[in-house]
Structure 1
């Protein structure tokens, strides 16, 4: 019997856990969803990943490992406690409000939601908003109705969005290249079973690398290498994979 996060499993067998997972996912696909189901799915996946395997390969053979397919949602955290603040005014600079974004993954559209909440709108248009094309790294600050933005604050958003640490009183195209990815420009996929991977001239167990922002935040990254690079295994005994 296995336990996890308030969930009790009557078995610890891989195949039975997988069968249970299939049943839950089928029910969820049909619209039968609950917090308990999400919790149980997480517990089963965690249990399967925690299990130790021990399999010995044929020592008379040579083995290599390569990545054929990789998929993950782009949820890279580009805003943290060191770059999450901005001040705004909607009364021509008489008073300013400090906005602190919660750490997480943001595009400028998500930042606009905060600006709408704190800065308001007139005739359906935000008093303060950003617009642009992140693929071109061009962002414009739009100011309406006597609004101002002050980037000269501690832990400012200015570098992320490409603006100077100053007060802006009129709509302005960013003077610098936006850094919306916050210097996180590579996803390195590690695997503990390989030898021969390198990163910045140092040997690392990296099986594949790809750019971070191939898709916007919140979208799924799907990577299928045109040509798979195979690297030798570092052991004939496989106890775990991570």
Structure 2
């Protein structure tokens, strides 16, 4: 019977990886089955699976996703870099997935880049995901409209009334803190200037509490971080885009 065990183990491994490597689907984008990757990085004390689409476009977008060190890396200070880069005439996006579900927790993201100045076709996402209807998002994008507000909190499905809260963010430095506190009956969101969870009044950028009917159940979801191109469109400025995450906390 031993000759049957190895194929079964390999099959279960790839199934588990597939569950871990989907992407955010705001603004009516759809997910595609991920391509398997074996690159794992360590960041903020956790292990993360780096996404690749293996030269095939996948949602959201659709886009090409790369697990290259040009797209995803942790620098000498322990900061995570997600970068959209052009190679051989094609744009490659970036994404990582936490290996293990964390459930009802407070997810805090300390960013160290001007995510308020991303190109209008670029989307930066901080989110938990199980499927397109079980998702909690903080997203930075103008969704390809120059005069759009550049930040949103969302509960999927985002088309349902009351499931999105949009605002315009204008940072004064590279440093900002964002969080969502996922509980069984409410989800609290907040964004602050600087790296702090105890901001002065003038450092509070925005806050929102969701108590609607689409709070995701505990369902083996994963925390994901990504940087991608809305509807697969090239950056309007034809320049690479980057989101730097200093660290995360799961409290």
User: TM-score interval w.r.t. the shorter chain?
Assistant: under 0.3
As a proportion of its length, which structure holds more helix? Answer: 1
Indicate the structure (1 or 2) with the bigger Cα radius of gyration: 1
| TM-score, scaled relative to structure 1 | 0.25
As a proportion of its length, which structure holds more strand? Answer: 2
